[in-house]
Structure 1
Amino acid sequence: MADSSSSSHSLSPSSSPSSSSVRRIIHSALQLFCWKQPKTSAAAFGVSLTVLVSLSKVSIISVVSYLLLTCLCVTITFRVYKAVIQAVQKSEEGHPFKSLLDRDISVSSETVRPLIDQGLIHVNWFICQTRRLLLVEDVVDSVKLAVVMWLMTYIGAVFNGLSLLILADVVLFMSPLIYQKKKSQIDELIKSVRSRFEETLMKLQNRLPGAVKRTKTG
C-alpha cells in the first residue's frame, strides 16, 4: 500500500522534474521582465533590442558576425592586456579567463528532456485547439479567432515580423514598469474593455441560431 502511494506521489504533476524545470524558467523570465534585478534586465533589454533593430537593418549573418567580432575584440584586448601586465609585474596569475574555461557549460540530457516533454504537451494542446477552432466545434470561439485573424491582417499590412518582435520586446520590458506606476488606472481600463467585449460577445451569441449557440455547462 505504501508503494502505491509513493509511486502516485512521484507521478504527480507538482513533483515531476518537467513541471519544476518549466516553473524555474517561467520564474526567471518573470524576474527578468519585472526588473527584479535592474542591471540584468537593463542588459537583456539593451542587447535584445540592439539585436532586433540590427536585424531589421542588415542580414542576420552580418549581425552575428559583428556580435562575435565585438566579443572577440574585447576578449583578445583584455587577454593581451593581462599578459603584458603579468610580464611587467612578473606575476604568475595565469589565464584571465581560466575560471570561465574550467566551468562546465555542457547541456545534459537530464536538462533538455523535461523541456522537450513539456514542449510536446504544449504542441499537442495547440494542435487540438487549432482543429477545434478551424472545424467550428464552438461557433463563438471560432468567431473570436476570425476576428483576431482579421485584425492581424491590418497589423501585418503595417508591420513586418521584425517590427512586431521589436514592439513585443519593448512591451515585455516596459509594461511592468508602467503597470507598477499606473496600476489602478490600467486595472480600471482593462475591466471596462473586458466588460464591453463580453457584452458585445453576448449580444452576438444571442443572435445565433439555437442549434449553434455555445453549450453552457452548469
Structure 2
Amino acid sequence: MENTDSQPGPNWKEKVVDLLYWRDVKTTGAVFGANLLLLFSLTMCSIISVLSYVALALLSVTITFRIYKGILQAIQKSDEGHPFKLYLDKDVALSDEAVQKYSDLALGRMNSGLIELRRLFLVEDLVDSLKFAVFMWILTYIGALFNGLTLLILGLVSAFGCPLVYEKHQTQIDHYLALVNNQIKDIVAKVQAKVPGLKKKAE
C-alpha cells in the first residue's frame, strides 16, 4: 500500500486557483470581502488612516479577549496560561532560504521586465513597439476615466468573478475568443503586407 501521508499538499498556485474559483465559498468570500472593504476604505481615507483603523480594530479584539480570559481564569482559579500562547510560540521568522528564494524570484522578474521594456522602447521589433504604443494610448483614456483605486477594485472583482463565469461558459467564451483572435491576426497580417518594414524578421 502507498503511504498517502508522504504525498505533498497543494502548492500555493493551486490554493490561489481554488480561491479564485470559489472552491471554498467561506474562505473565498472572506478574502474577497476583506480586500474589497480595504479598497473601498482607501477611496475615502488615506492608507495610513486605514491601516491604523485596521490595527486598532485587531488590537481591540485581542486585548478584550486577553482581559476576558484573564478574568475568567481568576474566577475559576485555573492555570491555563496566556490565551495566545499557541501563536506566540510559533516561529514566524523568515528563513534565509525563503528570503533568498523570493529575492531571486523578484530579481528575475525585474530583470525580465527591464529587458522587455528596453526591447520595446528601442524598437527591436517595430510591430511589438507599435502594439505597446497603442496599449499606452488606450491606458491614457482609461486613466482619464478611472483612478488607480477604481482600477484595483475593478481588477479585484474581475479576478474573483471572471474565472467562475469562464468555468460555467467555457465553450462559448473560447469560441468567441478564437473568432476575435483570428480577426486580429488577419488585420495584423494585412497591415504587415501593405506597410514596408513592418514584417517581422524571419527566424
- The answer to whether the superposition gives a TM-score over 0.5 is yes
User: Which residue is equivalent to 2:7?
Assistant: none
1:194 to 154, 178, 181: 181
How far apart are the structure 2 equivalents of 1:128 and 1:147?
20
The match for 1:165 is 152
Question: What's the counterpart of residue 15 of structure 1?
Answer: none
Provide the secondary structure at the position in 1 that maps to 2:123.
coil
Aligned pair count?
194
Is 1:147 aligned with 2:121? no
Aligned to 2:36: 49
Partner of 1:32: 19
Poorly superposed stretches of 4+, deviation over 3 Å: 23-28
Contact 2:42–2:50 (Cα < 8 Å) also in 1:
yes
Which moves more between the two structures, 157-166 or 87-96?
Answer: 87-96
Alignment of 1:1-218 (within 5 A): 24-209=11-196, 211-217=197-203
| CA distances 1:71-93 after superposition (whole Å, capped 9, x unpaired) | 01111111122222222222221
2:183 maps to amino acid: R
Task: Tell me how large the CA RMSD over aligned residues is.
Answer: 1.7
Is residue 20–residue 159 contact of structure 2 (8 Å, CA) maintained in 1?
yes
Measure the CA separation in 1 of the matches of 2:44 and 2:177. Answer: 35
**Separation in 1 of the partners of 2:28 and 2:166?**
16
- Name the structure where helix makes up a greater proportion of residues: 1
The whole-number CA distance in structure 1 between the counterparts of 2:180 and 2:144 is 25
Residue-by-residue CA offset, 1:21-75 (whole Å, 9 max, x unaligned): xx94434333322223332222111111111111111111110011001101111
Q: Aligned partners of 2:39, 2:126: CA distance in 1, in Å?
A: 38
- Cα deviation, 1:154-192, whole Å, max 9, x if unaligned, reads 100101111111111111111111112222222122112
Distance in 2 between residues matched to 1:129 and 1:58, nearest whole Å: 36
Paired-residue identity, %: 46
Name the amino acid aligned to 1:199. D
**SS class of match (1:175):** helix
Q: Following the alignment from structure 2 to structure 1, what is the Cα–Cα distance between the partners of residues 119 and 11?
A: 31
**Where does structure 1 lack aligned partners over 5 or more consecutive residues?**
1-22
Counterparts of 1:190 and 1:212, CA distance in 2: 25
